Amino acid sequence: MLTVVKNQMRVCALAVKYNIMREMLNKVTFLTNILFMIFNNATFIVQWVILLRLREDVGGYTMREVMLLWGLAASSFGLSHLLFSRVFSLPNLIISGKLDAYLVQPKNVLLSVMTSATSASAIGDFLYGVLVICIFCFSVKRLLLFLLFTVIAALIMTAFALLMGSLTFWFVRAEMFGNHMIGSAISFATYPDGIFKGIVRFLLYSVLPVGMAIYHPVHIMMVFDWRKFFAVLGYLVLLSVAAVFVFYRGLRRYSSSSLMESGRV
């Protein structure tokens, strides 16, 4: 069993390494992708600086919480796309029959698919988040918690994308629905939760994974709370189990395709 896991991890690590090597083929594009993503994210700081000069706080968030929020959203999004970018284009793989190449290999299909692509700009997102924490609200404990929650939030976002993408096994148009849901989650993740009330707030803490992936971790990093910590972990486990279950149920409906396209790239 241990050997199986070890071999699977070896293949996943090789896949991630080769993905990054592919992105690095053109070093100018690779570096500019990373740098411009950092600059792109940094422009939003200016908006918040102006806004928080006009008001003392927004939805209970001061500049420090806003930076934590942005940092965590960017880093977790980055890590998720760096390691598991293919999950976000799962509907395309399903529709065009590109899962065939993974199904004939003696490895876990899901892990093989997830680790089969990366995004260079995601490195910029990840670095941006770490830089923001180090510059605006550094403490060793907070940085360690930040890294832990970056991993947890990245896994939650990946599981959510997997769940949404797997719906394509049943409905082709689920691709659009899934993209909207993922887009909404990312957009909401950059605003303080205090400004949302009622049903929207309920949705952000249940259907959309923003509350558990971003808002609760931000609260915990400010004032540690074990109940919130376990709620986040519980949500991660539940969402992951649901996503993996739906993927494998859907895989039974996979109908492949004879499109003349590449099986992997």
Partner 1 sequence: MKAIEVEGLSKNFHVKHKEKGMRGSIRAIFHPQTEKICAVNNVSFGVEEGEILAFIGPNGAGKSTTIKMLTGILYPDNGRVEVLGIDPVRKRRQLAYQIGTVFGQKEQLWTHLTPYDNFHFFGAIYDLTNDAVEARIKELADIFELGEFINTPVRNLSLGQRIRCEIVASLIHKPKILFLDEPTIGLDPVVKENIRRLIKQMNRELHTTIFLTSHDIGDIEKLCKRIIIVNTGQIVLDDSMEHLKYHYLNKKIVEVKLQDEVKLPSMDGITIRKRKGGNVKFEVDTTVIKIADALHNIDTEYVEDINITNVPLENIIMEIYKAEGKVDGL
Which residues are near partner 1 by CB under 8 A? 7, 10-11, 14-15, 18, 21-22, 25, 97-101, 103-107, 252, 254-256, 258, 260-265
Q: What distance in Å separates the CA atoms of residue 117 and residue 86, rounded to the nearest whole number?
A: 5
**Long-range contacts at 170-178 (CB < 8 A, ≥ 24 apart):** 170/250, 170/253, 172/95, 174/91, 175/91, 175/92, 175/95, 178/91
- Which residue's CB is nearer to partner 1, number 7 or number 139? 7
Residues found in the chain: 265
Q: How far is the CB of 25 from partner 1 (least distance, A)?
A: 6
- Which residue's CB is nearer to partner 1, number 7 or number 47? 7
Identify whether the C-beta of residue 167 lies closer than 8 Å to the C-beta of residue 177: yes
Name the helix (H) or strand (E) containing 162: helix 140-166
Q: How far is the CB of 252 from partner 1 (least distance, A)?
A: 5
Q: How far is the CB of 4 from partner 1 (least distance, A)?
A: 9
Q: How far is the CB of 37 from partner 1 (least distance, A)?
A: 22
Identify whether the C-beta of residue 133 lies closer than 8 Å to the C-beta of residue 143: yes
* DSSP letter, residue 105: S
Q: How far is the CB of 106 from partner 1 (least distance, A)?
A: 4
Q: How far is the CB of 82 from partner 1 (least distance, A)?
A: 17
Q: What distance in Å separates the CA atoms of residue 188 and residue 4, rounded to the nearest whole number?
A: 39
Sequence-ordered list of residues with C-beta below 8 angstroms from that of 4, at least 6 positions apart, any chain: none
Q: How far is the CB of 20 from partner 1 (least distance, A)?
A: 11
Q: What distance in Å separates the CA atoms of residue 143 and residue 149, rounded to the nearest whole number?
A: 10
Three-class DSSP category at 61: strand
- Which residue's CB is nearer to partner 1, number 136 or number 254? 254
- Which residue's CB is nearer to partner 1, number 28 or number 265? 265
- Which residue's CB is nearer to partner 1, number 22 or number 142? 22
- Which residue's CB is nearer to partner 1, number 109 or number 231? 109
Q: What distance in Å separates the CA atoms of residue 122 and residue 96, rounded to the nearest whole number?
A: 25
- Which residue's CB is nearer to partner 1, number 5 or number 207? 5
